[in-house]
Structure 1
């Protein structure tokens, strides 16, 4: 499978430029109508324990005990949306987000479902990987580590989209970066065939320092959304370009079939990020572009792990041949 990298790389750069551009601020929570509604609701229902208990008892059943203020914001959000629509205005955003309907108290139900689907894809394909790849294969435990990092990230993604708090938001952002950075790390290890030497030690230390710096900066200095997005995009772009260059590099122990799975997986991952450029009100008040992005990535492990299985088995055969030559 031949690739024209001069044509592919400019398209990748265009996608990254669009994603890096800032989005408009929300107007829903800035509207006097919304603010007055929240103020009245808090005064009437959150001023004392009896009123709060009676009011919450009248609300639909929820998996989470949302604070009284958040319940007021949620209910006033829909009153404001209805007011905007009756006047023929565009659907507004609130606190930087589109209005989502809660299902059983889940804040963004579609994103929760698709995050769980991503988690499940990694879990199922890891079981297939363990079944078809011998433990003696190079990169066997490295890819286990990568899978666990990915599943951990998707677990926190599902928690964050279920119930957004400062803690769940940080865990989602930190774990998402850990997944992207881990992908870059294991790519570097694959370049060196997972052999422990000075290069792999330096790579390990570098990635560890990058992760600690990222978490420390966002936790202690400034929780900067633009910085977080740019850091993820830069690391992700390096990861994608690295794998494409690796596939283009002549290697005797890498089959053309496994290269195809790797290339297709990487290109689909790049294409899926284009969904982050889209910005539209959620369909049925549940499915927006971000949710669709999560849905698109849920199927990538089905291809990616096929590449891992073939690549690890090829490495295993090459390793056995090297052992035979020694004896």
Structure 2
């Protein structure tokens, strides 16, 4: 996911679901356990079990997984109120995908970043000091949405970690370039960077690299994923990232820093408020995660709608970044 929207998603999703990731009311129920045990003994633990359909085998469904899926839907069909199983609502699968709507919307987000990457390359001057950083962030976002689609196709320990690690990398990448953008740590094109600026840039880069490496190493070394720590890590990154863009959006009379290298603090472009608006809209959209509800027709739930909501938000961020990099405040530093 785009980092501009991913951090609140992680916070609220983890807060809502992580405590239930290992067990939920549905899979703890005696009815489900008995149904699964019976199916397993009749369908799986026999001399010649029937082969699963090709798409289920390609997406790594086991016979026991299939028993759990069928029991879950059988119980749900005979119940007035659906329950969660292993931290998830019951969804109708499609072509082996556990949550096809979330997969579809993840792919839509991926396509948004692919188009955004192309726009960054085409509409930002090759000499702009932030172009390379923005392209790296865009690539990181593409990677995040690829693993989001994979994770929603099949939820395993491996795909879950890659989804979380990719999201953390995107958030950190966004914070990394935002700090460089806001505090002007980039190398000016028309002059040699000062020694102090170069030192701060290198220290900041080292901090980010070490932080991500330590984050992945710690979570990978545990027998059980530390969801609480993961929430805190992403929360700190996300809040810091948002605070920096809110500084950028302050009214001219309250400006605490220069927004552009060749303009005074009082210079504030007309689109500066867009940053604050997008931060606010992104946070507001997380209400889809807070007020979670069972999936409509076992297809679309609040989480899937959240993924859908991030598509236009990402497009708006790309437009904002392009406008910002083309502002006249940069022109004396570019060729």
> So what's the TM-score if we normalise by structure 2?
0.82
8 Å contact 1:63–1:104 — kept in the other structure? Answer: no
Give matches, 1:1-327, under 5 Å. 21-22=15-16, 25=20, 26-48=24-46, 50-53=48-51, 56-57=52-53, 64-85=59-80, 90-193=81-184, 194-195=186-187, 197-221=198-222, 222-248=224-250, 249=255, 251=258, 253=260, 255-314=268-327, 316-320=330-334
| Closer/same/farther in 2, CA of residues 18 and 291 from structure 1, 3 Å limit | closer
Distance 1:16 1:69 in 2: 30
Give the direction of change, closer, same or farther, for the CA distance of 1:148–1:198 in structure 2 (3 Å limit): same
> Could you tell me which residue of structure 2 aligns to residue 7 of structure 1?
none
Cα distance between partner residues in 2 of 1:148 and 1:91 = 38
How far off its partner does 1:289 sit?
1.4
- Structure 1 residue 267 displacement after superposition: 1.8
Q: Summarize the Cα distance change of 1:27–1:300 in structure 2 as closer, same or farther, 3 Å threshold.
A: same
Structure 2: how far apart are the matches of 1:242 and 1:44?
A: 59
Contact 2:11 2:234 in 1 (8 A): no
CA deviations on 1:85-130 (whole Å, 9 max, x unpaired) are 3xxxx21110111111101111101111111111111111221222
Contact persistence 1:192–1:200 (CA under 8 A): no
Instruction: Compute the displacement of 1:207 (Å).
Output: 1.3
Check 1:83–1:237 CA distance in 2 against 1; reply closer, same or farther (3 A cut). Answer: same
- When the two chains are superposed, the root-mean-square deviation of aligned CA atoms in Å is 2.5
Supply the distance in 2 between the matched residues of 1:73 and 1:19 (Cα, whole angstroms): 23
Question: Structure 2 CA distance, aligned partners of 1:46 and 1:130?
Answer: 53
Q: Which of structure 1's runs of 4+ aligned residues deviate more than 4 A? A: 14-25, 59-63
Matching residue of 1:5: none
Paired residues of 1:100 and 1:282 also in contact (CA < 8 A): yes
Q: Distance in 2 between matches of 1:72 and 1:294?
A: 29
| Higher mean displacement: 109-118 or 258-267 | 258-267
**Cα offsets for 1:248-289 (capped at 9, x unmatched):** 235363652331332222222222222221211011212111
For residues 48 and 225 of structure 2, what CA distance do their matches in structure 1 show?
Answer: 37
Partner of 2:4: none
- Compute the TM-score of the two structures, normalised by the length of structure 1: 0.84
Q: What is the CA–CA distance in structure 2 between the aligned matches of 1:209 and 1:234, rounded to whole Å? A: 16
Shift of 1:22: 5.0
CA distance in 2, matches of 1:235, 1:288: 27
Larger mean Cα displacement after TM superposition, 69-78 or 217-226: 217-226
Inter-CA distance 30–17: structure 2 relative to 1 (3 Å threshold): closer
What number of residue pairs does the alignment pair up? 301
